[in-house]
Chains A and B, each alone.
Chain A
Amino acid sequence: MTIAQLLATVEAWPISAAMRGEMPGTEWLFPIIETLHVMALTIVVGSIAMMDLRLLGIASRNSAVSRLSNEVLPWTWTAWTVAAVFGTLMFMAKAGTYAGNLQFRLKFVCMGLAALNMLVFHLGVYREVIRWDEGEPPMSAKMAGALSLLLWVGVVFFGRWVGFTT
């Protein structure tokens, strides 16, 4: 089965048809799911921005980095999971169209790079967070924060743009 066939199969599922509003009473399903997706992503991006601004030394300077991280990240991951579930539902409505959409692809390039950035940060400079927990973060931590902020703005930018181009 080719990828195109797989996407067509997904689009033929009843739940995908419902997401397109083709089932009786589902005319408002997509807008509702999209709104829930937006609610979740505000928490994802908002909580990540809190962390990034702390890494940049701009905000929350009175909070230890590790403490803020422990407070915020459970919310980030929970909200991310919710956003991913609702995002997948929206994708299923027009799987083929979205898969071929440039902005959709760029969104996931940004998210992939953000994940990579996070991985490098956690396996790198964050392992020695104890040394800079209370004070000014080292340059590599600031870079990670700035990059993360930039990439997540990109995710939102391209994500919103998908809606204008499909």
Chain B
Amino acid sequence: MSAQNTSLRGWLTADVTTSPWQARIQRTYFGWRRLSSNPSTMFGLAVLLFTGLVQTVAEPVRQFVTPMFWAKMLMIILVATLTALYATAVRRNAALWDAASSRPWPAKIFAVLSTLLWLAIIVCGRFIGYTWSFYA
């Protein structure tokens, strides 16, 4: 019991909160989990894919010469796969996930990985523009 309370998962899902910030982060945590299954996410991704394709078709060399582009593409495939696996696991047992007082540890690892990967994708994306001229 005490081990659960000291874990991040326990902290995020605790029934009794010790500070307004914990309660606030808890609400956001559960809200984000609901919203992540939203069609808006899928619409946004479709727009990103289309506009990214236009840029790549327009200036393929600019994109293909820098390793930043390939690192970004690799991470997008990775994060998309992880997200699909996670979403499938949740959907398969939605009632159980909603009822459970805590999340299984793979879900926690997924959350950390997903955040880090998306941040790294932003870094690589922005740095395509700053590094491509070194390789061209």
Contact = CB atoms under 8 A, between A and B. Distances in A.
A122 B34 CA distance: 25
A125 interface: no
A59 B40 contact: yes
A72 interface: yes
Interface in B88-103: none
B27 A31 contact: no
A45 to B, nearest CB: 11
Contacts of B24: 70-71, 74
Contacts of B123: 35
Nearest to A46: B44
Interface of A: 31, 34-35, 38-39, 42, 49-50, 53, 58-60, 62-63, 67-68, 70-72, 74-75
Decide if the interface of chain B is mainly helix, strand, loop or mixed. Answer: helix
Interface of B: 24, 27-28, 31, 34-35, 38-40, 119, 122-123, 126-127, 130
A35 B127 contact: yes
A38 B27 contact: no
Contacts of B126: 31, 34-35, 38
Nearest to B41: A59
Contacts of A59: 35, 38-40
A62 B37 CA distance: 12
B34 A60 contact: yes
A69 to B, nearest CB: 10
Given A63-B34, A67-B27, 13 more contacts: A38-B122, A39-B119, A39-B122, A42-B122, A59-B35, A59-B40, A60-B38, A62-B34, A68-B31, A70-B24, A72-B28, A72-B31, A74-B24
